[in-house]
Structures are given as structure tokens and as C-alpha cells.
């Protein structure tokens, strides 16, 4: 799936969750406490699918968990994804660069990144190498 199609699919899902949260009586009354047991159940179902190496089940359960993440995101005032994305961009780049041993290779990789990602990654690599 192309990045554009993936982004559109995700935005469609966000729009569906917006509509449900606004118009569905069940969705409106949910809280983090009322969703807690359902979220835990979905995580256990994901673990079971992983243990069984059931890729179809893994995809289904990850979809269910994504819906839960969106639900919590809507409850929290749209801040969860902002934090998730900010944390994971830097962490992913740092983990990748931490697994390379060649400074020139690191620099070439970092130069291909957008500046907003490059600078924190460069600082992390420099700190790691000193």
C-alpha cells in the first residue's frame, strides 16, 4: 500500500471514530476505565495470535488495538498521537543508528532525513559516540 493510500485509510478511520464518539450513545459514554478490560482483552488476543503465528489473527487484533488507541486519543483531546509520533520518530532513528558502527554511514543516513528528525538523531549519535 502506498503512503498516500495508507495515510488516507488512517484519516478515514479517524473520521469514523470522530463520528462514533460524537453520535453513538455507547461510544459517547466510554471512559478510560470502562474501556480498560476491553483493551486488556484485545492485547491477550493479540498475544494468542502471535503465539500461534496466526498472521490473519495478528492483523485483526492489531486493528482492534489501533481502534482502542484512537478511542483513547479522542478521549484525551487529540494529544496521544502527537506524543506517540514525537517519541517514536526520535527513538526509531536513534535505535537504527545505534545499530550501525560506521560514523560515515550514520552521517549519510542522517543527511537523508528531514531536518526536524535529523537534528535530534545527530545529537543522539554524537552523545553515543563520545
60 and 104 assigned to the same domain? no
25 and 58 assigned to the same domain? yes
**In the prediction, which pLDDT does 42 show?**
94
Q: Return per-residue pLDDT of the chain as tens, 130 residues.
A: 777 888 888 888 888 888 888 888 888 888 889 989 999 999 999 999 999 999 999 999 998 998 888 888 887 766 666 666 666 555 555 555 555 556 566 666 666 666 555 555 555 555 555 4
Q: Is the pTM of this model over 0.85?
A: no
Q: What is the largest CA-CA distance in the chain?
A: 57
**In the prediction, which pLDDT does 40 show?**
94
Q: Which domain holds residue 99?
A: 84-129
72 and 88 assigned to the same domain? no
Amino acid at each position: 500500500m502506498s503512503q498516500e493510500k495508507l495515510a488516507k485509510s488512517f484519516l478515514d478511520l479517524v473520521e469514523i471514530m470522530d463520528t462514533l464518539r460524537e453520535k453513538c450513545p455507547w461510544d459517547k459514554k466510554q471512559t478510560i476505565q470502562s474501556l480498560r478490560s476491553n483493551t486488556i482483552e484485545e492485547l491477550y488476543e493479540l498475544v494468542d495470535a502471535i503465539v500461534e503465528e496466526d498472521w490473519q489473527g495478528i492483523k485483526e487484533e492489531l486493528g482492534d488495538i489501533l481502534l482502542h488507541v484512537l478511542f483513547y486519543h479522542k478521549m484525551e483531546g487529540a494529544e496521544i498521537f502527537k506524543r506517540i509520533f514525537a517519541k517514536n520518530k526520535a527513538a526509531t532513528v536513534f535505535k537504527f543508528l545505534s545499530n550501525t558502527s560506521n560514523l560515515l554511514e550514520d552521517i549519510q543516513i542522517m543527511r537523508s532525513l528531514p531536518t526536524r528528525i535529523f537534528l535530534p538523531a545527530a545529537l543522539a549519535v554524537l552523545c553515543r559516540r563520545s
